[in-house]
Amino acid sequence: MKNYFSSFFLSEKFIVKINLFVSFFTLCGSFFFQYAMNYVPCTLCTLQRLSFLLILIISALSIAVKVRGFIVHTLSFLFLLSGSLFSIKQVYLQKSPDTESILCDPQSTKSIYQMTSSEIFQNIFSSSSSCSQVSYYFLSFSLAEWSLVIFIILLFLNLYSYKRRNSH
């Protein structure tokens, strides 16, 4: 019974579906907060959304084309790790709000869509004022903290699935 449980719920196919559904519902939730609750996302929020979107696309393509293996695991790991890093940065900024950043500054003359990729990467790890503002808590966690929890859970599930796949 235990072997059947772990072989079904921790199989590569099931993990890809979990990535798809969790990313989809996380994106739906973020758009709900933006459009229904008027919660304006900062740059780090947008980068976390991009990570979830890329995970969603990879998972959907993996299911549709039935491609699995090293490429899917590598891309999923890459985007889960980058999303985790963006979340960690935002949680850090929320815990120490007296830091500043060009990337997340609401008064900045350029939005993330107008910045070059080198400007974005140069400013990602600088501090922030708007990314540090917490305007909503759910079960005592900010949205950035929830994002971090989701990224870490998905990251560990994907790593376990990959390790399990390679051990057989």
- Summarised one tens digit per residue, pLDDT across range 43-69 is 788 889 999 999 999 989 888 887 666
- pLDDT at position 73 over 60: yes
- pLDDT at position 157 over 60: yes
- pLDDT at position 129 over 50: no
- Its pTM stands at 0.76
How far apart are alpha carbons 112 and 104 in whole angstroms?
A: 9
For 140, list phi and psi in degrees, rounded to 5: 70, 10
More confident residue, 63 or 127: 63
- pLDDT at position 156 over 90: no
Tokens encoding 78: 């890459």
